[in-house]
Each structure stands twice: as C-alpha cells, then as structure tokens.
Structure 1
Amino acid sequence: MNKEILEQVNNFYKQTSSLTYKTIEQSNADFKIEIDRISKIFTIDDLEAMFLLSIITNNASYKNCQIEDIADNLDVSKFEVLKNYDKLIALQNRNLIEIYEPDDNNEYNHRYSHKFKFPISVLNKVFKISNEVELKIFSTDI
C-alpha cells in the first residue's frame, strides 16, 4: 500500500466528512493508560496495543470487527487505520489476532449484501482476537 496516497485520501475524507475525526496520536493520548497496560502485558508497541484494544472491544460487542469498526471505535478515519495496516499484520504474526475473509453465507441475506461490494478487499476482512488473547483476558491469575 502506498501510504502517501492513503494520507492524501484521508485528508480529503476528513475535509469532506460531516464528522470530525481525531488523529491516531490524539486517540493514543486519550487512551494512554489503557494502551500502556496492554502494551506491557502483550509486549507490543502503543499503536498495536491501541488496535488490539479496539478489536477486543468490538469482538465483545459484535463478535465481528472490520476496519470500519476499528476506526469508529478510535474515532479516526478508516484510511488512517488502512495506512497502519502493517500493525494489524504484526498482531496477526504474533498470534494475537486472526484476520480472515467474512463468511459467504451472509451474501444471500440482502441486508448484508452491501458488505461484499467494497472496492478495497481489505475493508471486508474480519478481525478477531486469538484464543491466546482470550485465555489471557479470562484467566484468573492476572
């Protein structure tokens, strides 16, 4: 992915959007205590911890988390999340999250048919916490 293109798209999106978005740095400052704690527990950097926290909270609420959900949770643009997609891949490489394609069963339900027509396939990817993270969250020795 070309980060420069995404940066320009993100700037355009922020200027034309009716919603105002924060930057990743502002979200990081807002959730500094939580991010530091998660960062220390899983030995990951702050941005990875912020994404992991967002995925955990989305999985707890919806059991389904996509780029849009992460962005909404952090109140940032989805293009900023896309710009930092490598951090999500790093979380997957450390077996902290799983990234997979959504089930095709929903495409027959017209209510969800729009989810399969995104121009960028990455927006369709689903993010889920791994069993390792679930065990750490629900173990009693923390």
Structure 2
Amino acid sequence: MGQARDVVAKYFAAFNAGDTAGMLECLSDDVAHHVNEGQVRRGKELFEAFCAHMSRCYRENLTDMVVFESEDGSRAAAEFTVNGTYLETDEGLPEARGQTYRLPAGSFFSLDGGKISRVVTYYNLADWTAQVS
C-alpha cells in the first residue's frame, strides 16, 4: 500500500474508532472539507466542530472499504458502506428516533506532505432520508 492509501486507511480507522483526534492527525492545518450537499469548511478547527456535531446526531461505522491511490500519491479515493444510527434530530432533517440506515458512499482526497489537504464525501441524501423517514 502506498503512503496516500496508508494515510486514508489511518483516517478511516480513526473514524470507525470514534477518534476525532486521530482523524485530525491525518489532516493538514488548512484542510478543505467539502461536506456532502454543504459548504466547504477550511481548517482543522471547523473539521473538529463538524465531527462533534456528527457524533452527537449519528453513530456510524464504515464497512466494505476499498481505497484507491493515484500513481503519484497526491490523490486517493475510497468507496464504502455507511452503517448508521440516527441519534439526535439534525436541523432541517427528519426527526431522529434511533432509526438505522445503510448507504453506499465515497470520499475523495488530496494529499500534500503526507497529510490530507482535501476531503470530499458523497452519499445519496434522498436515499438516507427515505430510510429514516
């Protein structure tokens, strides 16, 4: 496995462990976090705040992980399944009642100096909404 794949694998292992600090270790200070159907958040502080919000509203575990890396190691991608529980109502979304969901998803990464400098995650929000409604 190349360096980019190693960093992405470490990032997702930290995610599955609920280890936000471990995820932050994988990121550059000026990371650009492209939230699914949301705004771009720049920097570790906003990334950490996003993780705190997500942990409050959702419990998720990623399975079926496949990580790809560009030949030069500057970019990577991952395909996976999100297995989750909706814990607390998220603003503008259906009411949370402990519903479970299972979604295919993907993330794209740019890497610089052995750190993730860009994270983009995509999943089908309409599919999620149908599962929890």
Question: Which TM class, normalised by the smaller chain length?
Answer: under 0.3
Q: Considering fraction of residues, name the structure with more helix.
A: 1
Kindly indicate which of the two structures has a greater share of residues assigned to strand. 2
Larger of the two Rg values belongs to structure: 1
TM-score for the superposition, normalised by structure 2? 0.28
